[in-house]
Amino acid sequence: MLHVEALRVAYGKITALDGVSLEVGERELVAVIGANGAGKSSLLSALMGLVEPRGGRISFSGRDVTRLPSWARVRLGIALVPEGGRVFPDLSVERNLQLGGFALRRREAIRENLELVYALFPVLRERLRQRAGTLSGGERQMLAIGRALMASPKLLLVDEVSMGLMPKLIPEILGTFVRLREERGMGVLLAEQNAKEALQVVDRGYVLKNGRIALEGTAAELRENAEVKAAYLGL
């Protein structure tokens, strides 16, 4: 579904990504793990069209999207859950969700997606009129995921979903992506510093180091890799 070839991203003279290649298949959960500053957010920003690559190619469902604007990628079926559960703090929970469905033309689809979000995160239904900025960290993360789901994505790009969450909430939030794959056939590319939790739920993973892919393999292979154990799993 997603094919990235030799992607290069730079900010001025600073190279953030240097020849990154990866793939995400349909209904596949894939993690990109790496330390802070490895280039994970730059990767997702480039995939979403928020930064323009200096080189390489991004294709989605067989179409070259390397130069497409973000809104066009949303309409093709790509959505982003930004780092840190960023939401519109002065708007209500309901308004945040409605904005996530801006690309949908059918009201019926918007209603269906709202029901999906409420089924996944019942607390959001209870907080509909509440300002998003007053939610807890976990609730804001749920809202950020829900807002992305409102666009009916085929591929969900998730940036550091565990950041700022209470440890007991992390498995619950990550489990949501497994459920979306099983129930909705959705693919997920999960950029995570918390490798231990991410590698428990994904099918495959890539290790990003200094803007380059250093390792790749199945989740089981990466969990058993000595370098990954030492650098990311604390073993």
The pLDDT score that the predictor gives to residue 177 is 93
Element (H, E) at 173: helix 170-184
> Is there a contact between 193 and 187 (Cβ–Cβ < 8 Å)?
no
Q: Which two tokens stand for residue 96?
A: 């945040």
So what's the pLDDT on residue 72?
A: 93
How far is C-alpha 182 from the geometric centre of its chain's CA atoms? 17
8 is written with which tokens? 């290069």
pLDDT string in tens for the chain (235-residue length): 999 999 999 999 999 999 999 999 999 999 999 988 899 999 999 999 999 999 999 999 999 999 999 999 999 999 999 987 789 999 999 999 988 887 776 777 788 889 999 999 999 999 999 999 999 888 999 999 999 999 999 999 999 888 877 888 888 889 999 999 998 999 999 999 888 899 999 999 999 999 999 999 999 999 999 888 888 765 4
Token couple for 87 = 């939401």
Q: Report the alpha-carbon distance of residue 161 to residue 9 in Å, rounded.
A: 22
The pLDDT of residue 233: 67
Measured CA to CA, the distance from residue 49 to residue 46 in angstroms comes to 5
pLDDT of residue 234: 59
How do strand 212-218 and strand 204-209 relate by DSSP bridges? antiparallel
pLDDT computed for residue 211 by the predictor:
94
Please give the pLDDT value at position 63: 96
